[in-house]
Amino acid sequence: MSSLVQQLSADRQLTALRTVVQCKAKPTVLREGPAAGDGPGTAWVAFLCPAHSEGLPGWPATRTHAYQHKVSCGTVLDFRVAEQVLQSHADLWLTALTGVDPAAYGGVWSDVLDQADRVLRERLEQDADEDGDGEDGDGEHSMLTMMWLACRAAAEGDLMQAASALGYCETIAEGMGPWRDADLAPQ
Distance CA 33, CA 20 (A): 14
pLDDT of 183: 38
Please state the domain extents for the chain: 3-78, 82-179
Residues in the chain: 187
3-state secondary structure of 173: helix
The full DSSP string for 90-150 is: IIIIIHHHH---GGGGTT-HHHHHHHHHHHHHHHHHHHHHHHSS-PPPHHHHHHHHHHHHH
3-state secondary structure of 64: strand
pLDDT tens, residue by residue, 118-158: 999 998 888 777 766 555 566 788 889 999 999 999 999 99
pLDDT tens, residue by residue, 80-100: 999 999 999 999 999 999 999
pLDDT of 71: 87
More confident residue, 13 or 37: 13
Question: Could you tell me the CA-to-CA distances from 91 to 72, 79, 87, 118, 151 in Å, in that order?
Answer: 23, 17, 6, 19, 18
pTM: 0.84
Average pLDDT over all residues of the chain: 85
3-state secondary structure of 7: helix
Q: Closest Cα partner for 4 from 47, 61, 39, 38?
A: 47
pLDDT of 38: 65
pLDDT of 142: 87
37 band by pLDDT with thresholds 50, 70 and 90: confident
